[in-house]
């Protein structure tokens, strides 16, 4: 436990002075158990202005940070990413903004065992919208799905929410901290190819849709499991 706390403090100290274009801040060890994680919080406006796919920008930042952490601190950590608007320095603790959720949804969020069910229902409904847009094309398109999401969703069997907890983000260039609902999902997919599924575009679209529909500060991270047991290469 002491070694974990020491590593977390080293990471926080290292990241507190680190300024990178397009990065708002970092979340260090959001779970407090299991492998230590670092979540990069990207500026959504910066990502959108980049002349490339959002998933590519996020991937390059994650890989670069992972290498630097290994080089300077000497530890291997999982590095994930999420995106939000960084134009406002408002702390969620001081904010008077109300979440657009019903009373029953609010009660679910407060009960840790039921948060997973709430976000499972939300993600299932958003996935249904994305699938409909991707399958029916222009007739059903409402601006939710990207070409990357439609490519990735074809091989997905189901998405399961595995964790949902409030976390506090430490900003690298702001003294304020901000609370977010951090949700983790496991994506089950079928592919004849070995290796992990790249679902960055899909999770980016899901995260954006849930932010818009609930008004909640929300981040989404994923892992993937290939259900196919026979591979061609």
Nearest alpha-carbon partner for 115 in 80, 83, 158, 162: 162
Is residue 108 very low, low, confident or very high in pLDDT (cuts 50, 70, 90)?
low
pLDDT in tens, 192-213: 777 778 899 999 999 999 988 8
CATH architecture of 2-84: 2-Layer Sandwich (3.30)
Is 40 strand, coil or helix?
A: strand
Tokens of 102: 């019903």
pLDDT in tens, 151-203: 889 889 999 998 888 888 776 666 677 788 889 999 999 887 777 788 999 99
Task: Identify the residue whose tokens are 């290498």.
Answer: 67
| Residue 155 DSSP label | T
Query: What does the chain come to in residues?
Result: 233
Q: How far apart are CA 58 and CA 39, in angstroms?
A: 11
Query: Domain-by-domain residue ranges, the chain?
Result: 2-84, 103-226
Whether the domain at 2-84 and the domain at 103-226 fall into the same CATH topology: no
Task: Identify the residue whose tokens are 């890989």.
Answer: 63
- For domain 103-226, the question of CATH label 3.30.300 is answered with yes
- pTM reported for the whole predicted model: 0.54
Phi, psi of 152, rounded to the nearest 5 degrees: -75, -35
Q: Containing H/E element for 130? A: helix 112-136
Strands 218-226 and 177-189: parallel
């Amino acid at each position: 436990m002491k070694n974990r706390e020491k590593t977390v403090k080293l990471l926080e100290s290292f990241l507190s002075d680190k300024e990178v274009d397009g990065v708002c801040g970092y979340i260090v060890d959001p779970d407090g158990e299991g492998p230590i994680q670092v979540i990069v919080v990207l500026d959504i406006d910066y990502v959108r202005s980049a002349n490339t796919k959002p998933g590519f920008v996020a991937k390059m930042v994650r890989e670069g940070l992972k290498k630097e952490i290994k080089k300077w601190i000497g530890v291997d950590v999982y590095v994930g990413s999420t995106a939000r608007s960084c134009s406002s320095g408002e702390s969620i603790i001081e904010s008077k903004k109300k979440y657009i959720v019903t009373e029953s949804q609010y009660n679910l969020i407060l009960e840790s065992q039921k948060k997973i069910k709430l976000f499972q229902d939300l993600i299932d409904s958003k996935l249904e919208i994305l699938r409909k847009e991707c399958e029916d094309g222009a007739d059903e398109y409402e601006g939710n799905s990207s070409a990357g999401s439609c490519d990735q969703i074809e091989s997905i069997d189901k998405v399961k929410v595995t964790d949902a907890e409030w976390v506090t983000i430490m900003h690298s260039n702001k003294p304020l901290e901000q609370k977010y609902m951090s949700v983790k999902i496991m994506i089950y997919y079928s592919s004849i190819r070995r290796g992990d599924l790249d679902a960055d575009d899909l999770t980016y679209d899901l995260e954006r849709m849930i932010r818009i529909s609930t008004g909640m500060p929300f981040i989404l991270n994923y892992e993937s499991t290939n259900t196919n047991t026979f591979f061609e290469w």
